Every structure is written in structure tokens, then in C-alpha cells.
């Protein structure tokens, strides 16, 4: 069990708090201030290792080493960024990192329309209003950004927004097939280095798992995960199976994916969302009954598959007026962990034929 931590001075949650959550063994970390495409400095990596070890945590999972847009666009300059990526992999290998999570979404990571939508119980959570995003014409979006330097959208870094019009322009003729080819090129170069350094690469699914603002998205469903795994058929080419991201499309059966891909999932993100008929969704507590995702069945699928990878609670709600990064407070993720342990420990006891209480 691992827990995402954004780093000293960059997270409202502290390592001493994380240590008090039962059963957390390591932190999921990154050097968030290093721009995508740049090589990570070894001294900075070692600094995080020392900080984590003071609290008895390992640093075996990195989320994410982000991919430069030129790699996703397939530009000739990608080779320079791929070389930097390889150098970062080697350094991470030196300090004992075992898994690198990354994503291949053009321009944006996750997209939401409201970061603090109120749930019935008074807590708030991240919400996605489908019609709002669908109705937003990319050209209109670029125009708004260019005209108003203060224009922003929930969760989008101002830095990225500023470069947006140029990047949107660059993606104009990039199709899904192009994106597949660019991902294949990246993996063909990276996976041998990952193998040498015993680091399993784990792509995160697209969130939400469909195209947004006219940008192609490919890591969206079971068939595409199958295709990804075949691009380079190595145990070092794997998936970060994120139950919340994939489940925004009700056709995605995450428990079935766990059963099919178990040995290619180095890293599990476990969280629940409630999906509405009109395609909107909101993040909820981890409890199966609170959302549309059968978290019990997913954990059971991991258990039955003999899963030995890393798992973390993914986003949580904001509880008890906690001021924190959207989705990354202490309280709901800690509750989530206890729910996951509750299911797991019960399954373990049942397997061993022990009474539950
Ligand atoms: C969403 C989160 C993501 C994730 C990145 C990985 O479910 O887990 O923000 O961190 O997409 O690169
Ligand atoms: Mn996730």
C-alpha cells in the first residue's frame, strides 16, 4: 500500500501524518517542479529518498515522469527528450525505484469542470459535467485564453494554459493512429532501458476515457489496453489500472480488466465515482455503495489474481473543511485505505479458512 505525496513544501499532508495511516509502506512521488522532458537531477532524487526513509517509507513508485509534448506529437526533437527520459530512468533505478507511472494524454492530464462540488453529506468532490466540455469548441477556448490572461479552468496550470494555443495548433492533424505510432516509438526506445534497470513502466488511462476538446485519446478501454501491451510485449510495459478513470465509461468493466491483465499491472489506483445517465460523474468515497464502481469486486479480483503490485487510494473527497490539493486531502484517502484493507484482510482470512471475527 502506497500513498501519493507531492513533496516537502508542496503538499498540505505531511509524512508524519501519512505514517499514522495503517499499512502504508511507501510514498508515490515525483519532482513536480521539473518540466516535462528535462532530466531529473540525482541530488534531488536522493533528497526525497532521505526524507521518506526518515519515516520508514520506500520510494519505489514514481508518479509521474511526464512525457514531453514533442514525443506525443512525434516531432524530430522527440529523440532529445527520449534520451533525457532514459537518463532519468537510470537514475531512478539507482535509488531502487521499481515502477514509473506516466500518461500519454495530449495537452491535459485529468479534466474536471468543478473541483469542489458539494455532495449530499456536505463534503465536496471533483465533478465532470459532460455537456459543458462537449460544448466547448477548442478554437473558442484558445480565443478565450488569448484574450484574457486571467482566464483559467479548474485544475489547469496557468503555465500550460498560456502555451495552449500553440499546442492545440500542433495537434490539429494528429489522429488517434498517429498517437498510437508515437506511443509505440516511445516504448520501443524506453522499455529496453526500463528492463535493464528493473523498472516497470505503467501507463495511466486517460481521464476521462474519451477525446476532449477535439484532442485524440487512446488509453480508454480494454481493447486499447490489449493493444498497448502488444506494442512491446514485455513485463516492463504495463498499466496503472485506475478504476476511477476507466469507470467514467460504464462500458468499462475494471474487475474484468484486473482478471485479464493482472500480471501487467504493476500499480493499481483504486477509487470510486458516481456516473450519471447524461455522462456527468462525481468522485465519491471509496465505499462500493456510494458510487457506481464495485470496489469490493475489484479488490476481490486483485486478491484472486495473487496481485503483488503497488496500490494506492486515488482521489478523495474534501472532508471536514480540509484545505488541500483538489482530490489529495488526508482524510478521505485515509478512510479509503481502511476500506481497502477491510476488504483485503477479510479475503485473506477467508482464504486461510479463519473466521472473520
Ligand atoms: C487520476 C490521477 C492522475 C494521474 C496521472 C498519471 O486518476 O491518478 O492525475 O496522476 O494521470 O500520469
Ligand atoms: Mn488514477
Measured from the Cα of 110, ligand 1's closest atom is 9
Q: How far is the CA of 204 from the centre of ligand 1 (A)?
A: 6
**Quick one: average pLDDT of 181-198?**
98
Of 139 and 128, the one with more pLDDT: 128
Per-chain mean pLDDT for the chain: 93
| Residue 188 pLDDT greater than 80, yes or no | yes
- Output the pLDDT for position 162: 66
248 grid coordinates: 467514467
**Quick one: average pLDDT of 312-320?**
97
Neighbours of 283 (CB within 10 A): 27
**Quick one: average pLDDT of 284-312?**
98
ipTM summary value: 0.95
> Which sequence positions are flagged as catalytic?
204, 242, 269, 314-315, 328
> Confidence class of residue 147 from pLDDT cuts 50, 70 and 90?
confident
Cross-strand bridge partners of residue 101: 63, 202
Chain position carrying cell 477535439: 214
- Output the pLDDT for position 287: 98
- Output the pLDDT for position 269: 98
CATH class, 2-351 region: alpha beta
List the one residue out of 202, 301, 224 whose CA is nearest residue 256.
301
> Confidence class of residue 201 from pLDDT cuts 50, 70 and 90?
very high
**Closest ligand by atom to 128 CA:** 1
> Confidence class of residue 313 from pLDDT cuts 50, 70 and 90?
very high
| Residue 150 pLDDT greater than 90, yes or no | no
pLDDT tens digits along 12-64: 999 999 999 999 999 999 999 999 999 999 999 999 999 999 999 999 999 99
**pTM score, two decimals?**
0.94
241 grid coordinates: 489500472
Q: Establish whether residue 138 lines the binding site of ligand 1, counting it when its CB lies within 6 angstroms of any ligand atom.
A: no
Chain position carrying cell 529496453: 192
Q: What is the rounded distance in angstroms from the CA atom of residue 123 to the CA atom of residue 116?
A: 9
Taking CA atoms only, the protein residue closest to ligand 1 atom 8 is 314
Q: Which of 52-61, 88-97, 137-146, 259-268 comes out lowest in average pLDDT?
A: 137-146
pLDDT tens digits along 225-251: 999 999 999 999 999 999 999 999 999
**Quick one: average pLDDT of 124-138?**
89
Amino acid at each position: 500500500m502506497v500513498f501519493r505525496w507531492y513533496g516537502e513544501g508542496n503538499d498540505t499532508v505531511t509524512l508524519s501524518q501519512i505514517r499514522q495511516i495503517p499499512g502504508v509502506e511507501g510514498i508515490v512521488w515525483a519532482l513536480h517542479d521539473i518540466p516535462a522532458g528535462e532530466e531529473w537531477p540525482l541530488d534531488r532524487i536522493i533528497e526525497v529518498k532521505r526524507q521518506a526513509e526518515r519515516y520508514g517509507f520506500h520510494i519505489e513508485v514514481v508518479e509521474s515522469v511526464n512525457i514531453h509534448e514533442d514525443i506525443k506529437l512525434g516531432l524530430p526533437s522527440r529523440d532529445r527528450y527520449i534520451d533525457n527520459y532514459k537518463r532519468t530512468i537510470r537514475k531512478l533505478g539507482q535509488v531502487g525505484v521499481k515502477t514509473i507511472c506516466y500518461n500519454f494524454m495530449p495537452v491535459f492530464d485529468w479534466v474536471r469542470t468543478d473541483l469542489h462540488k458539494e455532495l449530499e453529506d456536505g463534503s465536496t468532490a471533483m465533478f465532470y459535467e459532460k455537456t459543458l466540455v462537449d460544448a466547448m469548441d477548442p478554437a473558442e477556448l484558445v480565443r478565450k485564453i488569448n484574450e484574457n490572461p486571467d482566464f483559467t479552468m479548474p485544475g489547469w496550470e496557468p503555465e500550460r494554459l498560456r502555451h495552449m494555443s500553440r499546442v492545440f495548433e500542433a495537434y490539429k492533424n494528429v489522429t488517434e493512429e498517429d498517437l498510437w505510432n508515437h506511443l509505440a516509438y516511445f516504448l520501443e526506445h524506453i522499455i529496453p532501458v526500463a528492463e535493464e534497470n528493473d523498472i516497470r513502466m505503467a501507463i495511466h488511462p486517460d481521464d476521462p476515457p474519451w477525446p476532449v476538446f477535439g484532442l485524440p485519446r487512446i488509453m480508454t478501454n480494454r481493447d486499447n489496453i490489449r493493444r498497448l501491451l502488444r506494442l512491446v510485449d514485455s513485463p516492463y510495459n504495463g498499466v496503472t489500472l485506475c478504476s476511477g478513470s476507466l469507470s467514467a465509461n460504464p462500458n468499462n468493466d475494471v474487475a474484468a480488466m484486473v482478471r485479464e491483465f493482472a500480471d501487467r499491472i504493476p500499480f493499481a489506483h483504486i477509487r470510486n465515482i458516481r456516473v450519471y445517465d447524461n455522462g456527468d460523474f462525481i468522485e465519491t468515497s471509496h465505499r462500493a455503495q456510494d458510487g457506481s464502481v464495485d470496489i469490493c469486486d475489484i479488490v476481490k479480483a486483485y486478491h484472486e489474481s495473487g496481485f503483488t503490485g503497488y496500490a494506492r487510494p486515488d482521489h478523495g473527497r474534501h472532508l471536514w473543511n480540509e484545505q488541500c490539493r483538489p482530490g489529495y486531502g488526508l482524510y478521505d484517502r485515509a478512510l479509503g485505505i481502511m476500506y481497502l484493507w477491510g476488504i483485503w484482510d477479510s479475503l485473506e482470512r477467508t482464504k486461510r479458512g479463519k473466521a472473520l471475527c
